[in-house]
Amino acid sequence: MVPASRPDPVWALAVLSLLGHFFAPLCHQMPSRSPHFAGVAFPVCFRMAGVYLGVLASYLYLAATGGWRRRLPDTGRALACAFAILPLLIDGWGNTLHFWSSPGPLRLLTGLGCGMVLPLLLVPLGQNGPQDPAPSLTSTLPHATGAVWIGLIGLGLTGVLLRPGSMAAFAVLGMAAAAGSALLLGNLIWAARPAGCVFSRREAVRYG
């Protein structure tokens, strides 16, 4: 006798449905370009899933190794981070212009590479003020081994996405992607704030 399969958790299906609405303005959500599990589509496409999970991996690394007060990496590492975005641009434009059609896992990996380096370049933009002299801050990537750790976390997340094993794990990865997108948006808003706003508040406290 073949044992009956367990029904999918109701909460997992509800979470995936809600995340589908959450990501609707951020992704085309084409079923043919999105991960699936048991007939259910992931709330974002392969490429954006890679971006958001890579972003989350990078923020987790930064949180675990000293927090958010950081400066840009040294020139060589900063350039390496910039070049890590190129595969996404090349593959994205190649698919858009119909030069080729990449399989889902390749889209996932190009998104992952881009997502992993974005926080390394964006977090320092939030330190724009006289109260945060750059030389006194630790780099977002002081050692090359940091990139290895970020890559391992990112590959672990994307590996589970390709073979989640259960609808619960599929939904948790959807929440992880949502957390990555929220952190990225928060970082962009923080970096775009007026450069002198924090300094002005500190000066008001000092002289007020």
- Lowest-pLDDT range, 4-8, 36-40, 58-62, 106-110? 4-8
Distance CA 91, CA 43 (A): 21
Query: Is 60 inside a domain boundary?
Result: yes
Query: Is 28 inside a domain boundary?
Result: no
Distance CA 43, CA 175 (A): 10
| pLDDT tens digit sequence for 86-120 | 999 999 999 999 999 999 999 999 999 999 999 99
* pTM metric for this prediction: 0.87
Number of domains in the chain: 1
Query: Is 17 inside a domain boundary?
Result: no
Query: Is 36 inside a domain boundary?
Result: no
Residue 109 sits in which domain range?
47-193
Higher pLDDT, 113 or 206: 113
Q: Provide the token pair at 51.
A: 């971006």
Query: Is 95 inside a domain boundary?
Result: yes
Distances (CA, A) of 82 to 2, 117, 119, 166: 52, 8, 12, 36
Query: Is 25 inside a domain boundary?
Result: no
Query: Is 22 inside a domain boundary?
Result: no
Query: Is 6 inside a domain boundary?
Result: no
| pLDDT tens digit sequence for 173-197 | 999 999 999 999 999 998 887 654 5
